[in-house]
Protein backbone atom coordinates (compact mmCIF):
# COMPACT_ATOMS: atom_id res chain seq x y z
CA UNK A 1 0.00 0.00 0.00
CA UNK A 2 1.03 3.58 -0.68
CA UNK A 3 -0.17 6.17 1.86
CA UNK A 4 -0.14 9.82 0.78
CA UNK A 5 -0.20 12.48 3.52
CA UNK A 6 -1.26 16.10 3.31
CA UNK A 7 0.61 18.88 5.13
CA UNK A 8 -2.07 19.23 7.81
CA UNK A 9 -1.44 15.65 8.98
CA UNK A 10 2.32 16.11 9.31
CA UNK A 11 1.89 19.49 11.00
CA UNK A 12 0.13 17.92 13.99
CA UNK A 13 3.29 16.02 14.95
CA UNK A 14 6.46 17.38 13.37
CA UNK A 15 8.73 14.85 15.10
CA UNK A 16 6.43 11.86 14.47
CA UNK A 17 6.73 10.82 18.12
CA UNK A 18 3.11 10.77 19.30
CA UNK A 19 1.65 7.35 20.08
CA UNK A 20 -0.76 7.80 17.19
CA UNK A 21 1.97 8.54 14.65
CA UNK A 22 4.11 5.73 16.04
CA UNK A 23 1.19 3.35 15.47
CA UNK A 24 0.88 4.67 11.92
CA UNK A 25 4.59 4.00 11.24
CA UNK A 26 4.23 0.51 12.74
CA UNK A 27 1.32 -0.14 10.38
CA UNK A 28 3.41 0.92 7.39
CA UNK A 29 6.21 -1.39 8.45
CA UNK A 30 3.95 -4.37 9.18
CA UNK A 31 2.12 -4.08 5.86
CA UNK A 32 5.25 -3.36 3.80
CA UNK A 33 3.69 -0.03 2.84
CA UNK A 34 5.30 3.23 1.74
CA UNK A 35 4.85 6.82 2.83
CA UNK A 36 4.29 9.10 -0.17
CA UNK A 37 4.46 12.92 -0.20
CA UNK A 38 3.81 15.35 -3.05
CA UNK A 39 6.76 17.71 -3.44
CA UNK A 40 4.51 20.68 -2.66
CA UNK A 41 3.68 19.07 0.70
CA UNK A 42 7.38 18.67 1.51
CA UNK A 43 8.09 22.31 0.60
CA UNK A 44 5.10 23.52 2.60
CA UNK A 45 5.78 21.51 5.75
CA UNK A 46 9.44 22.59 5.82
CA UNK A 47 8.37 26.23 5.55
CA UNK A 48 5.71 25.83 8.24
CA UNK A 49 8.18 24.09 10.55
CA UNK A 50 10.72 26.89 10.18
CA UNK A 51 8.14 29.62 10.84
CA UNK A 52 6.65 27.81 13.82
CA UNK A 53 10.04 27.12 15.43
CA UNK A 54 11.06 30.74 14.89
CA UNK A 55 7.81 31.96 16.46
CA UNK A 56 8.30 29.69 19.48
CA UNK A 57 11.85 30.96 19.90
CA UNK A 58 10.62 34.57 19.90
CA UNK A 59 7.91 33.74 22.45
CA UNK A 60 10.54 32.09 24.66
CA UNK A 61 12.73 35.18 24.42
CA UNK A 62 9.80 37.44 25.33
CA UNK A 63 8.98 35.32 28.39
CA UNK A 64 12.64 35.29 29.52
CA UNK A 65 12.82 39.08 29.20
CA UNK A 66 9.57 39.58 31.13
CA UNK A 67 10.75 37.31 33.97
CA UNK A 68 14.12 39.11 34.06
CA UNK A 69 12.38 42.49 34.29
CA UNK A 70 9.96 41.30 36.98
CA UNK A 71 11.73 38.79 39.24
CA UNK A 72 14.04 39.83 42.13
CA UNK A 73 15.46 36.37 42.89
CA UNK A 74 14.90 34.03 39.93
CA UNK A 75 17.41 34.33 37.10
CA UNK A 76 15.91 32.76 33.96
CA UNK A 77 18.08 30.94 31.47
CA UNK A 78 19.55 33.00 28.70
CA UNK A 79 17.82 33.18 25.35
CA UNK A 80 18.10 30.09 23.20
CA UNK A 81 20.20 30.29 20.07
CA UNK A 82 18.36 28.15 17.55
CA UNK A 83 20.01 27.49 14.21
CA UNK A 84 16.85 27.44 12.10
CA UNK A 85 18.57 26.22 8.95
CA UNK A 86 20.15 23.23 10.74
CA UNK A 87 16.85 22.41 12.44
CA UNK A 88 15.06 22.47 9.07
CA UNK A 89 17.80 20.24 7.60
CA UNK A 90 17.29 17.68 10.38
CA UNK A 91 13.53 17.83 9.96
CA UNK A 92 13.92 17.27 6.21
CA UNK A 93 16.01 14.16 6.94
CA UNK A 94 13.16 12.81 9.09
CA UNK A 95 10.61 13.56 6.37
CA UNK A 96 12.68 11.73 3.75
CA UNK A 97 13.68 8.82 6.03
CA UNK A 98 11.13 8.19 8.81
CA UNK A 99 12.26 5.59 11.37
CA UNK A 100 11.94 1.87 10.58
CA UNK A 101 10.14 2.19 7.23
CA UNK A 102 11.10 2.60 3.59
CA UNK A 103 12.44 5.99 2.47
CA UNK A 104 9.61 8.39 1.60
CA UNK A 105 8.48 8.48 -2.02
CA UNK A 106 8.33 12.06 -3.30
CA UNK A 107 5.95 12.94 -6.14
CA UNK A 108 7.78 15.72 -8.03
CA UNK A 109 6.02 18.88 -9.16
CA UNK A 110 5.46 19.07 -12.92
CA UNK A 111 5.53 22.32 -14.88
CA UNK A 112 2.57 21.25 -17.03
CA UNK A 113 0.42 21.12 -13.87
CA UNK A 114 0.46 24.93 -13.74
CA UNK A 115 -1.88 25.38 -16.72
CA UNK A 116 -4.11 22.51 -15.63
CA UNK A 117 -4.32 23.99 -12.12
CA UNK A 118 -5.46 27.33 -13.51
CA UNK A 119 -8.17 25.61 -15.56
CA UNK A 120 -9.43 23.71 -12.51
CA UNK A 121 -9.47 26.88 -10.40
CA UNK A 122 -11.33 28.85 -13.07
CA UNK A 123 -13.92 26.13 -13.48
CA UNK A 124 -14.27 25.85 -9.67
CA UNK A 125 -14.30 22.06 -9.82
CA UNK A 126 -13.06 19.90 -6.91
CA UNK A 127 -10.77 20.29 -5.11
CA UNK A 128 -11.29 23.99 -6.00
CA UNK A 129 -14.43 26.01 -5.24
CA UNK A 130 -16.04 29.32 -6.16
CA UNK A 131 -13.48 31.05 -3.93
CA UNK A 132 -10.73 29.88 -6.32
CA UNK A 133 -8.04 30.00 -3.62
CA UNK A 134 -7.26 26.27 -3.34
CA UNK A 135 -4.17 26.30 -5.56
CA UNK A 136 -2.12 24.05 -3.27
CA UNK A 137 -4.98 21.52 -3.01
CA UNK A 138 -5.26 21.42 -6.80
CA UNK A 139 -1.52 20.81 -7.13
CA UNK A 140 -1.68 18.05 -4.53
CA UNK A 141 -4.56 16.42 -6.40
CA UNK A 142 -2.73 16.57 -9.73
CA UNK A 143 0.34 15.05 -8.04
CA UNK A 144 -1.80 12.24 -6.65
CA UNK A 145 -3.24 11.51 -10.10
CA UNK A 146 0.28 11.47 -11.53
CA UNK A 147 1.27 8.92 -8.89
CA UNK A 148 -1.81 6.78 -9.56
CA UNK A 149 -0.98 6.59 -13.26
CA UNK A 150 2.26 4.84 -12.37
CA UNK A 151 0.85 2.66 -9.57
CA UNK A 152 -2.54 1.64 -10.98
CA UNK A 153 -2.67 -1.83 -9.47
CA UNK A 154 -1.50 -0.77 -6.02
CA UNK A 155 -3.86 0.02 -3.16
CA UNK A 156 -3.38 3.74 -2.41
CA UNK A 157 -4.72 5.87 0.43
CA UNK A 158 -4.79 9.63 0.86
CA UNK A 159 -5.08 11.29 4.29
CA UNK A 160 -6.01 14.97 4.49
CA UNK A 161 -7.97 17.09 6.96
CA UNK A 162 -9.16 19.30 4.07
CA UNK A 163 -12.56 17.67 3.84
CA UNK A 164 -14.24 20.61 2.06
CA UNK A 165 -11.79 20.31 -0.81
CA UNK A 166 -11.49 16.52 -1.16
CA UNK A 167 -14.58 14.83 0.29
CA UNK A 168 -18.35 14.77 0.28
CA UNK A 169 -20.68 15.31 3.26
CA UNK A 170 -19.90 11.78 4.50
CA UNK A 171 -16.13 12.30 4.50
CA UNK A 172 -15.77 10.03 1.48
CA UNK A 173 -13.77 11.03 -1.57
CA UNK A 174 -15.87 13.51 -3.60
CA UNK A 175 -17.81 11.86 -6.48
CA UNK A 176 -16.15 14.03 -9.14
CA UNK A 177 -12.72 13.02 -7.84
CA UNK A 178 -13.74 9.35 -7.79
CA UNK A 179 -14.66 9.69 -11.47
CA UNK A 180 -11.21 11.06 -12.23
CA UNK A 181 -9.57 8.16 -10.40
CA UNK A 182 -11.77 5.62 -12.17
CA UNK A 183 -10.77 7.05 -15.56
CA UNK A 184 -7.17 6.26 -14.64
CA UNK A 185 -8.14 2.65 -13.95
CA UNK A 186 -6.99 3.05 -10.38
CA UNK A 187 -8.36 3.14 -6.83
CA UNK A 188 -7.90 5.71 -4.06
CA UNK A 189 -9.16 5.53 -0.47
CA UNK A 190 -9.64 8.86 1.30
CA UNK A 191 -9.42 9.46 5.08
CA UNK A 192 -9.84 12.78 6.95
CA UNK A 193 -7.37 11.87 9.72
CA UNK A 194 -4.75 9.39 10.88
CA UNK A 195 -7.30 8.13 13.41
CA UNK A 196 -9.81 7.25 10.68
CA UNK A 197 -7.12 5.58 8.57
CA UNK A 198 -5.90 3.41 11.46
CA UNK A 199 -9.45 2.66 12.56
CA UNK A 200 -10.33 1.33 9.11
CA UNK A 201 -7.14 -0.76 9.05
CA UNK A 202 -7.17 -1.82 12.69
CA UNK A 203 -6.37 -5.25 14.10
CA UNK A 204 -8.83 -7.49 15.92
CA UNK A 205 -7.55 -8.41 19.39
CA UNK A 206 -9.83 -10.97 21.01
CA UNK A 207 -9.41 -9.99 24.66
CA UNK A 208 -9.95 -6.27 24.07
CA UNK A 209 -13.58 -5.20 24.14
CA UNK A 210 -15.53 -2.43 25.85
CA UNK A 211 -15.91 -4.42 29.06
CA UNK A 212 -12.15 -5.11 29.25
CA UNK A 213 -11.44 -1.42 28.65
CA UNK A 214 -13.81 -0.31 31.42
CA UNK A 215 -12.40 -2.90 33.83
CA UNK A 216 -8.75 -2.03 33.16
CA UNK A 217 -8.78 1.69 32.48
CA UNK A 218 -7.68 3.81 35.46
CA UNK A 219 -10.71 6.09 35.77
CA UNK A 220 -8.93 8.39 38.25
CA UNK A 221 -6.10 8.94 35.78
CA UNK A 222 -8.55 9.60 32.95
CA UNK A 223 -10.42 12.17 35.07
CA UNK A 224 -7.12 13.79 36.13
CA UNK A 225 -5.94 14.15 32.54
CA UNK A 226 -9.29 15.57 31.45
CA UNK A 227 -9.48 17.96 34.40
CA UNK A 228 -5.91 19.23 33.94
CA UNK A 229 -6.46 19.82 30.23
CA UNK A 230 -9.80 21.59 30.69
CA UNK A 231 -8.34 23.85 33.37
CA UNK A 232 -5.37 24.76 31.17
CA UNK A 233 -7.69 25.54 28.30
CA UNK A 234 -10.55 27.15 30.19
CA UNK A 235 -10.52 29.93 27.57
CA UNK A 236 -11.97 27.36 25.16
CA UNK A 237 -14.88 26.77 27.55
CA UNK A 238 -15.29 30.53 28.03
CA UNK A 239 -15.55 30.98 24.26
CA UNK A 240 -18.08 28.12 24.13
CA UNK A 241 -20.22 29.82 26.82
CA UNK A 242 -19.88 33.28 25.25
CA UNK A 243 -21.48 31.95 22.08
CA UNK A 244 -24.50 30.98 24.17
CA UNK A 245 -24.68 33.56 26.97
CA UNK A 246 -24.21 37.32 27.29
CA UNK A 247 -22.06 39.11 29.87
CA UNK A 248 -19.84 36.14 30.84
CA UNK A 249 -17.20 37.25 33.36
CA UNK A 250 -14.61 34.66 32.29
CA UNK A 251 -14.45 32.97 35.71
CA UNK A 252 -14.77 29.22 35.20
CA UNK A 253 -14.78 26.37 37.73
CA UNK A 254 -14.47 22.76 36.54
CA UNK A 255 -16.60 20.42 38.63
CA UNK A 256 -17.65 16.81 38.07
CA UNK A 257 -16.46 14.96 34.96
CA UNK A 258 -17.98 11.74 33.68
CA UNK A 259 -17.21 9.63 30.60
CA UNK A 260 -18.11 6.51 28.64
CA UNK A 261 -16.43 4.63 25.81
CA UNK A 262 -17.75 5.93 22.49
CA UNK A 263 -15.41 4.09 20.10
CA UNK A 264 -12.00 2.44 19.95
CA UNK A 265 -9.55 0.58 17.73
CA UNK A 266 -6.31 -1.33 18.26
CA UNK A 267 -3.05 -1.76 16.38
CA UNK A 268 -0.94 -4.81 17.24
CA UNK A 269 2.58 -3.38 17.61
CA UNK A 270 4.42 -6.66 18.32
CA UNK A 271 4.03 -9.84 20.39
CA UNK A 272 3.80 -7.94 23.68
CA UNK A 273 2.78 -4.36 22.83
CA UNK A 274 -0.60 -3.10 21.65
CA UNK A 275 -1.72 0.42 20.77
CA UNK A 276 -5.28 1.24 21.81
CA UNK A 277 -6.95 4.41 20.58
CA UNK A 278 -9.91 5.46 22.70
CA UNK A 279 -12.66 7.93 21.86
CA UNK A 280 -14.54 8.87 25.02
CA UNK A 281 -17.86 10.67 25.26
CA UNK A 282 -17.52 13.04 28.22
CA UNK A 283 -19.63 15.44 30.24
CA UNK A 284 -18.38 18.13 32.58
CA UNK A 285 -20.26 20.39 34.95
CA UNK A 286 -18.89 23.92 34.88
CA UNK A 287 -19.71 26.88 37.10
CA UNK A 288 -19.54 30.33 35.57
CA UNK A 289 -20.68 33.83 36.37
CA UNK A 290 -22.84 36.36 34.51
CA UNK A 291 -22.74 40.11 35.16
CA UNK A 292 -26.14 41.25 36.42
CA UNK A 293 -25.75 44.97 37.09
CA UNK A 294 -23.11 47.52 38.13
CA UNK A 295 -23.05 48.32 41.86
CA UNK A 296 -22.26 52.05 42.13
CA UNK A 297 -21.62 51.79 45.89
CA UNK A 298 -18.93 49.15 45.63
CA UNK A 299 -17.72 50.06 42.15
CA UNK A 300 -18.06 46.55 40.72
CA UNK A 301 -20.49 44.29 38.89
CA UNK A 302 -22.89 42.09 40.80
CA UNK A 303 -22.70 38.61 39.31
CA UNK A 304 -24.84 35.52 39.41
CA UNK A 305 -23.46 31.97 39.48
CA UNK A 306 -24.67 29.46 36.89
CA UNK A 307 -24.06 25.77 36.27
CA UNK A 308 -24.05 23.98 32.94
CA UNK A 309 -23.39 20.45 31.67
CA UNK A 310 -21.13 20.47 28.63
CA UNK A 311 -20.62 17.46 26.38
CA UNK A 312 -17.32 16.82 24.62
CA UNK A 313 -15.30 14.07 22.94
CA UNK A 314 -11.78 13.15 24.00
CA UNK A 315 -9.19 11.02 22.18
CA UNK A 316 -6.73 8.94 24.20
CA UNK A 317 -3.72 6.85 23.21
CA UNK A 318 -3.30 3.82 25.46
CA UNK A 319 -0.23 1.60 25.70
CA UNK A 320 -0.85 -2.08 26.55
CA UNK A 321 1.97 -4.47 27.47
CA UNK A 322 1.30 -8.14 28.30
CA UNK A 323 -2.44 -7.43 28.49
CA UNK A 324 -1.98 -4.62 31.03
CA UNK A 325 -2.43 -0.89 30.51
CA UNK A 326 0.92 0.76 31.25
CA UNK A 327 0.42 4.25 29.82
CA UNK A 328 -2.30 6.64 28.74
CA UNK A 329 -2.11 10.03 26.99
CA UNK A 330 -4.81 12.55 26.15
CA UNK A 331 -4.36 13.43 22.47
CA UNK A 332 -7.13 15.93 21.82
CA UNK A 333 -10.65 17.01 22.78
CA UNK A 334 -13.46 19.03 21.31
CA UNK A 335 -17.07 19.82 22.02
CA UNK A 336 -19.61 17.19 20.97
**123-133 confidence digits (pLDDT tens):** 767 787 666 55
d(CA 24, CA 293): 54
| pLDDT of res. 294 | 60
Average pLDDT over every residue of 76-86: 82
Q: What gap in Å lies between CA 317 and CA 329, rounded to an integer?
A: 5
What pLDDT band is residue 157 in, cutting at 50, 70 and 90?
very high
What's the chain's average pLDDT? 90
Average confidence (pLDDT) over 220-235: 92
Q: Which residues pair with 283 in a beta bridge?
A: 258, 311
Distance CA 2, CA 202 (A): 17
Judging by DSSP bridges, how do beta strands 273-295 and 248-268 pair with one another? antiparallel
311-321 pLDDT, tens digit per residue, is 999 999 999 99
Identify the pLDDT of residue 259. Answer: 97
How many Cβ atoms sit within 10 Å of the Cβ of residue 18? 15
Q: Where are the domains of the chain?
A: 2-200, 210-335
In angstroms, what CA-CA distances link 38 with 42, 119, 211? 7, 20, 43
Residue 155 CB neighbours (<10 A): 14
Quote the CA–CA distance of 64 and 15 in Å, as a whole number: 25
Element (H, E) at 152: none
Helix (H) or strand (E) holding 22: helix 19-30
Provide the 3-class DSSP secondary structure of residue 49: helix
The residue-averaged pLDDT of 145-149 equals 94
**Is the CATH number of domain 2-200 3.40.50.1010?**
yes
Residue 147, pLDDT above cutoff 70: yes
Residue spans of alpha helices (H) in the chain: 7-11, 19-30, 39-70, 84-96, 113-123, 135-150, 163-166, 175-183, 194-200, 210-216, 219-232, 234-242
Residue-level length of the chain = 336
Can you tell me the mean pLDDT for 280-289? 94
User: Using CA atoms, how far apart are residues 262 and 267, in angstroms rounded to an integer?
Assistant: 18
Amino acid sequence: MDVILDTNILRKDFKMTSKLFEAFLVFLKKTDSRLVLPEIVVDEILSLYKRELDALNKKYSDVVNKISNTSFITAPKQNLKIDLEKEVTEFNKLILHPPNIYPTVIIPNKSEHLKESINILLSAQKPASEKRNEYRDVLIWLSIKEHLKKRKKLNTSFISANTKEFSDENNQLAPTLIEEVNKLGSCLNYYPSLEEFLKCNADKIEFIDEQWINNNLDSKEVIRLLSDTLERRDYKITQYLERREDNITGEIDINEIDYSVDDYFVIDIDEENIFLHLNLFCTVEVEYYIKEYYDLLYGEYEKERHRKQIEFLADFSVEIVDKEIVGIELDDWDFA
